[in-house]
Amino acid sequence: MKFLIKLIFTLAAVGILSCSSDKICSDSTPSPSVAVEFYKDTINKKTGKHDVFKYTLPDTLTVQGVGTDSIVVKPERNLQRVLLPPNIMTDNCTYVFTIYKLNPKSGVREMTKDELKFTYERKSQFVSHECGFKFDFLNTTFEATENRFDSLETLQKDITNEGQTALRIYFK
Amino acid sequence: MHSTRGWAQDTSSVRIKKDTVSYLLPKALTLGIDISYPIRYAFNKDEKVFEVVADFRFNNNWYAAVEAGYADASQENSYISYNTKGGYLKLGANRNLIKFQKASNNSVYAGARAVISVLNTDVYNYTINQKDWPGDVSGSFTDNSTVYSLELLLGIKVELLKNFFTGWSIRGGFPIVNKATTDGYENLYIPGLGFKKNFMFNFNYTLSYMLPMGKAKSKTGTVENVK
């Protein structure tokens, strides 16, 4: 009987605690971004083979979406990976990469621009009671201009988790 | 060797069990209504529930038990707002845990239920926000779903006046079949179990009336089990 009373009170206490757990959403914008990594593909002069490696861009990079004032990547040097959220209002969006390179001979900062376009299908997906729904982006395709960019390699067509790199940009 | 033999002797001398219950309770049907949900509704308008209960006593220890109800619950936050309506039926058994010296209709029991909840959910608004582009997306949908759950409970039933009872039970609900519906939406409210949580605690408080089928009989002498 004593054991039973203890059990009843323990269960009641656990229950009351579990009742008062009004959680708050920790990520109010849960839709995944496209994780973009910078790479370089050169031909090794000694061996004559391709040499692919992660490329840390030494120049100052700014990334901004076309049609928004918000700057996604603020001017920064030595970037190797950036996260670019697709626009959830439309089925495509374009980012402008503005790169300032210091010319060591003349001492002048030279600017180049490249555009990267995402085209995708939006699929709403339940996250939790606290955060509601997010969008996943399916069948994503990437197009880009080739000023500083050399080429693109798509690793993920379905963007559901920004922890996984979706796109490699090879730099010239 | 010595220690092994000693242990064996000890257990054999302790193994004497006495069953002192000397009465046999009649079969009885008890019908009742939950009054906790109306009281809870006075404090929390999120959840409206009506529940009736019944049990049938087969003997001193075993009862078949049933609860049936209808629930209407809503919740709102910045990201999702919904209303769920639906009925539920709980079928199971109670096992009396306490042996009283004299014939008594009171009981302290443990029980289990299989629960079926049939529900209709109206997610009347959800909003997806984004930070680096202007604009948010809103939507809505409705869904039908059937949830199967297991419920474990502990309860107590006390005879206040002749054949009139008041009862408490505390319950833990465990959804077994609870399929995600539109876009992976998981039922956030399950009629009969409550709002979705890691541990779905619930309770009820009932008033009920018993219809006994006969009177308590005494057994012929006491039963002793000696092993």
Give Cα separations from A103 to A108, A110, B89 (angstroms).
Answer: 5, 7, 77
pLDDT in the model for residue B75: 94
Asked if A126 and B185 come within 8 Å (Cβ–Cβ), the reply is yes
> What's the mean per-residue pLDDT of chain A?
86
Residue A4 resides in a domain: no
Assembly ipTM = 0.80
Q: What is the mean pLDDT of residues B188-205?
A: 93
Q: Is residue A26 part of a domain?
A: no
Between residues B113 and B5, which one has the greater pLDDT?
A: B113
- A129–B196 C-beta distance less than 8 A: yes
Domain membership flag for residue A61: yes
**pLDDT above 70: residue B217:** yes
A72 contacts A94 by C-beta, under 8 angstroms: no
pLDDT, tens digit, 9 for 90 and up, residues B118-141: 999 999 999 999 988 999 999 999
Q: What's the pLDDT score for residue B3?
A: 46
Distance of residue B91 Cα from the nearest chain A Cα, in angstroms: 22
Q: How many domains does chain A contain in total?
A: 1
Mutate to test the interface with A, among B77, B127, B132 (most CBs of A within 10 A): B132
pLDDT tens, B132-181?
899 999 999 999 999 999 999 999 999 999 999 999 999 999 999 998 88
CB contact under 8 A, A134 and B128: yes
Is residue A36 predicted with pLDDT exceeding 70? yes
Answer whether residue A47 is part of any domain. Answer: yes
CB–CB contact B130 A125 (8 Å): no
With contacts defined as CB-CB under 8 Å, which chain B residues touch A65?
132-133
Tell me the per-residue pLDDT of B7-21, one tens digit each, with 9 for 90 and over. Answer: 544 545 555 555 566
Tens of pLDDT, residues A73-130: 988 889 999 999 999 999 999 999 999 988 888 888 889 999 999 999 999 999 999 9
Chain centre to alpha carbon of residue A78: 17
Closest by Cα among B98, B16, B15 to B60: B98
Instruction: Check pLDDT > 90 for residue B52.
Output: yes
Question: Which of A142-151, B46-55, B107-116, B218-227 has the least mean pLDDT?
Answer: B218-227
Residue A2 within a domain: no
Residues of B within 8 A of A1 (CB-CB) are 98, 108
Residue A115's domain spans which residues?
33-171
Residue A11 lies in a domain: no
Q: H or E element: which one contains A98? A: strand A92-102
Nearest CA to CA, how far is A58 from chain B (Å)?
A: 25
Q: How far is CA A149 from the centre of its chain?
A: 18
Closest Cβ opposite residue B170 in set A11, A29, A130: A11
Of B77, B129, B184, the CB nearest to A29: B129
Contacts of B180 in chain A (CB under 8 A): 126
Which chain A residues are Cβ-neighbours of B198 within 8 angstroms?
18
Confidence of residue B4 (pLDDT cuts 50, 70, 90): very low
What is the per-residue pLDDT across A122-156, written as a single tens digit (0 to 9) for each?
Answer: 999 999 999 999 999 999 999 999 998 999 999 99
Q: Is residue A17 part of a domain?
A: no
pLDDT at A1: 57
The beta-carbon neighbor of A125 closest among B183, B200, B202 is: B183
Residue A28 falls within a domain, yes or no?
A: no
Domains and CATH numbers, chain B: 18-215 (2.40.160.20)
How far is A63 from chain B, CA to nearest CA, in Å? 11
Percent of chain B whose predicted confidence (pLDDT) is above 70? 87
